[in-house]
Amino acid sequence: MSIPLSWYLILAAALFSIGLFGVLSRKNAIAILLGVELMLNAVNINLVAFWRYLDPAKMAGQVFAIIVFAVAAAEVAVGLALIISVYRRRKTVVADEIDLMKW
């Protein structure tokens, strides 16, 4: 293992920034969720890299990565269900147009 830890951290930082750009710049609500997925993965890379480089005998990093998986799955399931439900009522998935609390 001749890769410095900082390489992983820089990769994760870059992935996080790209995801953030996607979240802020996209119009389509589904595309925004895609960006969120990228950001969650960036966090996961960090967690696993720290687990491997600091103390592989303690499993905290991997356990948290697994919990991030669960949260990501829950987030996508509910998020996409909301988007599809909104699409049924308003015929749009553009995040800007969904700006009323009640229709």
| Contacts (CB under 8 A) with other proteins, residues 1-60 | 1-11, 13-28, 30-31, 33-35, 37-38, 41, 44-45, 48-49, 51-53, 56-57, 59-60
Q: What are phi and psi of 57, to 5 degrees?
A: -75, -30
Among 37, 36, 62, 33, smallest CA distance to 50 is for 62
The reply on whether position 75 binds other proteins by CB under 8 A is: yes
Is residue 29 a contact partner of residue 98, using CB atoms and an 8 Å limit? Answer: yes
Least Å distance, CB 71 to other proteins, is 7
Least Å distance, CB 102 to other proteins, is 14
